[in-house]
Amino acid sequence: MPTFGLVLALKGRSDEREQVLTWLRADPRVQLGPLEQHRLALVLDTQTANEEAAFIERCMLSGCVRQVDIAYANFEDLVAFATGEETPDEHPA
Amino acid sequence: MNIQRRTFVQWAAMAAATAAARSSSAREASSAGLPDVAARPDDGTRWDKAPCRFCGTGCHVQVGVKGGKVVAIAADQQAEVNRGLLCVKGYHVGLALYGKDRLRTPLLRKGEKYEPISWDKALDIIAERVEKGPKGFAIYGSGQWTIPEGYAAQKFIKGGLSCNHIDPNARLCMASAVTGFLATYGVDEPAGCYDDLDECNVLILWGNNPAEMHPILFSRVLDRRARGDEIEIIDIGTRRTRSTAHAQHYLEMRPQTDLAIANGIAHLLIESGRYDKQFVEKHCAFRADSDPPSLPGQAIDFETYRKSLAEYTPARVEEISGIPQTQLRMLADRFADRKRRITSLWCMGMNQHTRGTAINTLVHGIHLLSGHFGRPGDAPTSLTGQPSACGTAREVGTLAHLLPGGRLVANADHRKQAEEIWNLPAGRVFDKPGYHTVAMWEKFCTPTKSGGDIHTIWVQVTNPGQTLPNRNKLFLASRSESDKFLIVSDVYPTATTRLADLILPSSMWVEKNGMFGNSERRTQQWFKQVDPPGDARDDCWQIIAAARRLYDRGFEGMKDKDGKFLFDVRAEDGKSIPVWNWKSYYDTNVDRHLFEEYRQFSRLKHKDLAPYDEYVKARGLRWPVVQQPDGSWRETRFRFSEFDDPYVEKGKEFDFYHSTTKDGRAQIWFRPYDAPPEMPDKEFPLWLCTGRVIEHWHTGTMTMRIEPLRRAMPTSYVEVHRDDAKQLGISDGEMVRIETRRGMLETRVWIDGRGAPPRGSIFVPFFDESQLINDLTLDAHDPFSKQPDFKKCAARIRRIAPASDAPASDGGQQATTSQPERG
Ligand code: SF4
């Protein structure tokens, strides 16, 4: 399922930001990258289609994320699925 | 995907995100030597650049292809426009290719069914329709045509059929911006560029919602704010949007009253003596409507201008617009302050307006009057909704009155120049403009015996069955006329293909070579990267192949004056390449041939384009692109300003070198406020406004097939103010019937949703083909641009059933529209 490279623009005080970072560190789908000034790079590796929308929504509702931008999306599983080319092995439900 | 592959993909995702997080400005991105996703170790994925297929922002993506399919999208780190980022639509763009119902073979209507036919037969049918009467054959295209596609289509019509009946859907989205630029500067398209967004201190949104419609540009501004820059955002609109949430000031005006506000600002600047006298005296002239009205209008002097504005006192403007006097004075104060830099942005709010040309000229006028023009950050800038509305519709000249490069069909010299470049006999290009969009469809819907002289329309890359205003009158009526024939080239079934007589399957985006021109005069190029499905073929090939079929059948219009084919393409050794045969089409780069021919048109209006190969190297170049003494090609960021525009004479500081008064001056217009053609009344007491949402691109034909986007916004809705809903006794989620004098629609109510219309006003997006709001809209249009007003008409809402009776599942989302059956 799709893998995303995301950039979170953070806002708020550093203790508030720390809360978001703690939550993100605890999410097994997320790998945190460097924090460049207020911009945090991360990878979101989803298990089902559309998970990223809920993830982005949750980030925005945290109150410490001003914006989520997308730098990369790999959806080869979805393409294989859409074009009827995936095999059960390649495409676990 | 196996574990090793997934690990690799994660690595790639992190590299791209890290680079994007670091590149807070384009200059940093290009100079910091950051890793480019395309430079990763080889995992079998091939990467190449392309502009995003969707909006007019013109972001660049890197397209990852594996196994002949687009499998990944990365924002392009080298692209100045988007600096390594994409919006929610952009990163899904690759999936737009893989909807399950792609059109794969030509289809001909037989009664209520379609039967597959060969391309050969399809081309014969097109040729027969032309032969029936070339002057009744029209092409309706779009700002999603690539530049070479649009160029080929207009050459087919104007050079081949000598009839000029070609118009793009851009008529529905930015025609008023064109007439606004022409009336003010004598030449189309913005003087500034996106760099203004990096320099402005004040950003004024005139009926504009870039947070949803041009999200990457809005991010650019918000990012500056996050880095500590002070940027004031002023949102002038008729409805609160996502952009409003980031604005310091929200000025809620009554529909159409932006003209009164603009006049009120000008009045305050003049009466307080705070306009920029020096700039105005040196570089501007004054103008007002002539009798009868004309685009150039008539000259007036400063005193007449001043007196005309006198009635637009703050009190009067408040009365007309509802904007408090303090807010109007605040706006005037901003313009009076020369230390700040002010960028105005607009799009459909000002263009889809029966006074669209007028409000465009007024906003340019305030910038000129106050001297907020021509310095980085000081710019009046219109945005486009489509990826090549500028490049293809405006620059190539696919509008019914234009020839390439800003030429006019009504100008004998311009026609002669086109005939020379195309090697046509003198007089081949017809001297009357063709039908603009509304007129073209009106004629197509009118019985032939009653003067409906358009018998065939060939639609490419657009969906008029969903987007035309007053759809019953302008689209559906044609379907009961047996001698009217509708040809549609598209990639998916749409509201238009569903009623077509002949359907042609098209290649899309990176299934073909292409070039776009975005909102900031940036011309972009890409190569074909994957094959189209089935028998789908490039729109450009379709035009050339139809032209060749006519040529082979002896149609004189497809021959130049030496008898050669109009789209003759030669190899370097001088041999003709039969590009009309699909198997030979990619034996050469047809785009390069067409672009190099088109480029010859670009210098007259100083819209100079570089050779094709320069665009292959770049992430787009902003015209005029002028060759330097060392042989390199330099783009222009700020037109008419001496410091950047090579066509401004040294020492002049500013030069409007296409001035309508031929004296280097821009025109400051007076245009009075006029009431809209239809206003709420007792019977229809609400304003109806239509528009877009972030998840879907225009009619949703692509984005509704991208599962994550469809799920995020599955159906249309109507936004209603809480108090209006209470008064009408309707609740959130309830099905209601919206009615206007033209049609009705049933849909669900959304209270306190994404947008917040004020009392007395409702909003419905147009992306959902199961809920066709354009059955209800008005076809009244601007007198100069001919652009219809989709933003305001009178409507009413009625309850259908109590919320508890409505089905709760997805099935409850079914809605109905008023559609006559095809006769
Ligand atoms: S802002 Fe427009 S061009 Fe950029 S990624 Fe989004 S849809 Fe594409």
Range scoring the smallest mean pLDDT among A37-46, B98-107, B463-472, B799-808: B799-808
Q: Cα torsion at B689, B694, B696, B699 (round to 10°)?
A: 30
What residue spans define the domains of chain A?
Answer: 3-82
Nearest by CB to residue A79, choosing from B70, B219, B708, is: B70
Task: Report the pLDDT averaged over residues B521-545.
Answer: 98
Q: What is the pLDDT of residue A29?
A: 94
For chain B, say whether A29 makes contact (Cβ under 8 Å). no
* Predicted confidence (pLDDT) at residue B780 exceeds the cutoff of 90: yes
Nearest by CB to residue A50, choosing from B226, B227, B707, is: B707
By 3-state DSSP, what share of chain B in percent is helix, strand and coil, each rounded to 5?
A: 35, 20, 45
Instruction: Summarize pLDDT for B684-709 with one digit per residue, the tens.
Output: 999 999 999 988 989 999 999 988 88
For chain B, say whether A15 makes contact (Cβ under 8 Å). no
Q: What is the pLDDT of residue B654?
A: 97
Helix (H) or strand (E) segment spanning residue B29: helix B26-31
Tell me what percent of the residues of chain B surpass a pLDDT of 90: 87
Instruction: Summarize pLDDT for B290-301 with one digit per residue, the tens.
Output: 999 999 999 999
Instruction: Summarize pLDDT for B135-194 with one digit per residue, the tens.
Output: 999 999 999 999 999 999 999 999 999 999 999 999 998 999 999 999 999 999 999 999
Whether the CB of B87 sits within 6 Å of ligand 1: yes
Instruction: Summarize pLDDT for B79-95 with one digit per residue, the tens.
Output: 999 988 898 889 899 99
Å from B304 to nearest chain A CA?
A: 49
Please report the atom of ligand 1 found closest to the CA of residue B87. 6
Rounded Cα–Cα distance for residues B67 and B331 (Å) = 56
Catalytic residues of B: 89, 173-174, 348, 385-386
Compute the distance from residue B51 Cα to the ligand 1 centre, in Å: 9
Pocket perturbation via mutation, ligand 1, pick of B82, B219, B519 by most ligand atoms within 8 A of CB: B82
Q: What is the pLDDT of residue B768?
A: 93
Query: Which two structure tokens, joined as six digits, stand for B319?
Result: 């009365």
Compute the distance from residue B14 Cα to the ligand 1 centre, in Å: 21
Rounded Cα–Cα distance for residues B626 and B646 (Å) = 8
Q: How sure is the predictor about B429, in pLDDT bands with cuts at 50, 70 and 90?
A: very high
Spell out which residues of chain A touch residue B75, defining contact as CB-CB under 8 Å.
70-72
Whether the CB of B155 sits within 6 Å of ligand 1: no
Helices and strands: H and E segment counts in chain B: 25, 31
Q: Cβ–Cβ of A7/B69 closer than 8 Å?
A: no
Q: Cα torsion at B179, B180, B181, B186 (round to 10°)?
A: 70
Rounded Cα–Cα distance for residues B319 and B296 (Å) = 31
Q: How sure is the predictor about A37, in pLDDT bands with cuts at 50, 70 and 90?
A: confident
Size of interface A-B (CB pairs under 8 A): 152
* Predicted confidence (pLDDT) at residue B515 exceeds the cutoff of 80: yes
Closest to A71 (Cα-Cα) out of B383, B356, B35, B348: B35
Q: How sure is the predictor about B49, in pLDDT bands with cuts at 50, 70 and 90?
A: very high
Helix (H) or strand (E) segment spanning residue A84: none
Angstrom CA distances, B627 to B192, B245, B516, B611, stand at 20, 44, 21, 10
Å from A17 to nearest chain B CA?
A: 14
Nearest by CB to residue A79, choosing from B17, B71, B712, is: B71
Query: Which two structure tokens, joined as six digits, stand for B294?
Result: 């004309």
Give the distance from CA B338 to its chain's centroid: 32
Q: Which residues have C-beta within 8 Å of that of residue B175, sequence separation ≥ 6?
A: B351, B356, B399, B436, B782, B785, B786, B787
Pairing verdict, β B793-799 and B686-691? antiparallel
Q: How sure is the predictor about B372, in pLDDT bands with cuts at 50, 70 and 90?
A: very high
Instruction: Summarize pLDDT for B538-558 with one digit per residue, the tens.
Output: 999 999 999 999 999 999 999
Range scoring the smallest mean pLDDT among B32-46, B169-183, B330-344, B508-522: B32-46
Instruction: Summarize pLDDT for B559-618 with one digit per residue, the tens.
Output: 999 999 999 999 989 999 999 999 999 999 999 999 999 999 999 999 999 999 999 999
Tell the residue nearest (CA) to atom 5 of ligand 1: B90
Rounded Cα–Cα distance for residues B461 and B464 (Å) = 10
* Predicted confidence (pLDDT) at residue B39 exceeds the cutoff of 80: no
Can you point out the beta strands (E) in chain A?
Answer: 3-10, 30-36, 39-45, 65-74
Tell the residue nearest (CA) to atom 2 of ligand 1: B55
Query: ipTM, 2 decimals?
Result: 0.90
Can you point out the beta strands (E) in B681-726?
Answer: 686-691, 718-720
DSSP code per residue over B774-806: GGTS---B-TTT--B--S-EEEEEEE-S-GGGS
* Predicted confidence (pLDDT) at residue B818 exceeds the cutoff of 60: no
Q: Which of A1, A4, A7, A52 to mutate to test the interface with B (most CBs of B within 10 A)?
A: A7
Pocket perturbation via mutation, ligand 1, pick of B49, B53, B55 by most ligand atoms within 8 A of CB: B55
Task: Report the pLDDT averaged over residues A71-76.
Answer: 89
Q: How sure is the predictor about A85, in pLDDT bands with cuts at 50, 70 and 90?
A: low
Task: Report the pLDDT averaged over residues A10-20.
Answer: 83
For chain B, say whether A65 makes contact (Cβ under 8 Å). no
Q: Return the amino acid letter for B627.
A: Q
Query: Which two structure tokens, joined as six digits, stand for B596?
Result: 């190099």
Instruction: Give the residue ranges of DSSP H helices in B404-470.
Output: 412-421, 437-445, 464-467
Q: Cβ–Cβ of B88/A82 closer than 8 Å?
A: no
Fold category of A3-82 in CATH: Alpha-Beta Plaits (3.30.70)
Nearest 5°: phi and psi at B381? -130, 125
Task: Report the pLDDT averaged over residues B634-657.
Answer: 96
Task: Report the pLDDT averaged over residues B364-381.
Answer: 97
Angle separating helix axes B147-154 and B590-599, nearest 10 degrees: 70
Whether the CB of B664 sits within 6 Å of ligand 1: no
Please report the atom of ligand 1 found closest to the CA of residue B216. 1
Query: Which two structure tokens, joined as six digits, stand for B35?
Result: 């890793």
Rounded Cα–Cα distance for residues B405 and B608 (Å) = 9
Query: Which two structure tokens, joined as six digits, stand for B80?
Result: 């100045």
Per-chain mean pLDDT for chain B = 92
Say if residues B575 and B188 touch (Cβ distance below 8 Å).
no
Compute the distance from residue B215 Cα to the ligand 1 centre, in Å: 7
Task: Report the pLDDT averaged over residues B484-490.
Answer: 98
Spell out which residues of chain B touch residue A66, defining contact as CB-CB under 8 Å.
222, 226
Q: Cβ–Cβ of B18/A49 closer than 8 Å?
A: no
Whether the CB of B86 sits within 6 Å of ligand 1: yes
Spell out which residues of chain A touch residue B21, defining contact as CB-CB under 8 Å.
7, 33-36, 39-41, 71
* Predicted confidence (pLDDT) at residue B25 exceeds the cutoff of 50: no
Whether the CB of B54 sits within 6 Å of ligand 1: yes
Q: Cβ–Cβ of A82/B95 closer than 8 Å?
A: yes
Instruction: Summarize pLDDT for B226-251 with one digit per residue, the tens.
Output: 888 999 999 999 999 999 999 999 99
Query: Which two structure tokens, joined as six digits, stand for B33?
Result: 């030597």
Q: Cβ–Cβ of A43/B13 closer than 8 Å?
A: yes
Q: Which of B7, B14, B40 to mutate to test the interface with A (most CBs of A within 10 A)?
A: B14
Closest to B595 (Cα-Cα) out of B520, B517, B532, B537: B517
Nearest by CB to residue B85, choosing from A7, A45, A77, is: A7
